[in-house]
Amino acid sequence: MKKVIVTLSLGVLIPLMGVSQTTLGPGTTGTSLSVAGLPHNFSSQTWNPYQNVGLGGQICQPCHTPHNSNFAQVTEAPLWNHTLTTASFQMYVGTGSFGLNGGGYGLTAPDGTSKLCLSCHDGSVALGAFGGQTGSTTMTGYDNGNADLGTDLRNDHPVSFVYDSVIAGGVHTPTYIYKLFDGTSSGKAVSKLLDINGKVQCTSCHGPHSNSKGYQLSMSNQNSALCLACHKK
């Protein structure tokens, strides 16, 4: 019975996330952005020229800058450089009695790191919109548009909500020490997967910098270990 539930959750989520595993791959895997070919190593992308000073082709620059960052607007990442999305989003609602113990999600807008990710991944802001440039290439249509989540997030795992002991019913408490794919202890509590405000965000499941597990996942999802880190199934 337990296995059936897990399979159902995955079966529901994966098609809704717009991910087709037959046509997509995790690309080159590596433990840091210095490995060329990682999805977030943009050094050879044509949209990354930074033409005004001829310092194009950098790795960190589309997201971080040493000077003149968006520090007043962005506190979730240091020295943020990329233009933020101003789009309106449709958030995950859940169906029937599902969702935050039947209370409904009541999510309003992405915040925290999710908003930073969506500032490229919603397709509304050009990838090259950083450091005073406007850019023209967006995620829409880029590389088949597979990484374009759009602004309708009803079909994506809920993000930007607080994960605390109140919602812990179908999920473990934030202090639960979750297991790795091979059943051994990670030694880390679920709270480590949450952002500084205790919220589930894109960065609960993905890291911006490393791709050692494919799809930039924060841990291996073999045997659905990532899902089971939080979900009791």
**Which of residues 30, 157, 188, 233 is near ligand HEC by CB under 6 A?**
157
| CB of 8 or CB of 52, closer to ligand HEC | 8
Q: Does 146 bind ligand HEC (CB under 6 A)?
A: yes
**Residues 151 and 87: beta-carbon distance below 8 Å:** yes
**Which of residues 65, 83, 171, 213 is near ligand HEC by CB under 6 A?**
171
| CB 136, min distance to ligand HEC, A | 14
Interface of this chain with ligand HEC, residues 12 to 71, rule: CB under 6 A: 12-14, 17, 19, 24, 26-27, 33, 39-40, 59-60, 62-64
Query: Which H/E stretch holds residue 113?
Result: helix 112-121
Non-local CB neighbours of 176 within 8 Å, separated by 6+ positions: 189, 190
Number of CB atoms found within 10 A of residue 112's CB: 22
Interface of this chain with ligand HEC, residues 85 to 144, rule: CB under 6 A: 94, 98-100, 113-114, 116-121, 127, 142-143
Rounded to 5 degrees, φ, ψ at 187 are 75, 5
CA distances from 38 to 6, 44, 211 (A): 30, 11, 7
Any alpha helices (H) in 17-143, and if so which ranges?
112-121
Class of residue 161 by CB neighbours under 10 A (exposed 0-12, middle 13-18, buried 19+) = buried
* Residues in touch with ligand HEC (CB under 6 A): 9-10, 12-14, 17, 19, 24, 26-27, 33, 39-40, 59-60, 62-64, 76-78, 82, 94, 98-100, 113-114, 116-121, 127, 142-143, 146-147, 149, 156-159, 163, 167, 170-171, 193, 200, 202-206, 208-209, 215-217, 221, 226-227, 229-231
